[in-house]
Amino acid sequence: MKARVHVMLKNGVLDPQGAAVKHALGTLGFAGVEDVRQGKVIELELAEGTTEATIGEMCEKLLANTVIESYRVEVL
């Protein structure tokens, strides 16, 4: 089985990289880009039967820093 973990900075945490990407899109002439948030996608190849609780534990312990990041697990 496969799972995809999306890690994003929490709302309210300033994202300097997202701000730079937004600026660059404006420079390229794309109007109307109101905000950009940059995150990570981590794909996991897992043994069948791995529970969502276990994946959640992986996120809490390593994949995300929950002080500044939130995560969302998608089992594929």
Contact flag: residue 14 with another protein (CB under 8 A): yes
Nearer to another protein, 33 or 68 (CB): 68
* Residue range at the interface with another protein (CB under 8 A); choices 26-34, 46-54, 60-68: 60-68
Specify burial of residue 56 (Cβ count, 10 A radius: 0-12, 13-18, 19+).
middle
| Gap between the Cα atoms of 75 and 5, Å rounded | 9
Take residue 22 and report the two structure tokens written for it: 């937004």
| Gap between the Cα atoms of 30 and 36, Å rounded | 13
Contact flag: residue 54 with another protein (CB under 8 A): no
* Residue range at the interface with another protein (CB under 8 A); choices 29-37, 50-58, 59-67: 59-67
Task: List residues near another protein by CB under 8 A.
Answer: 9, 13-14, 16-17, 20, 61-63, 65, 67-68
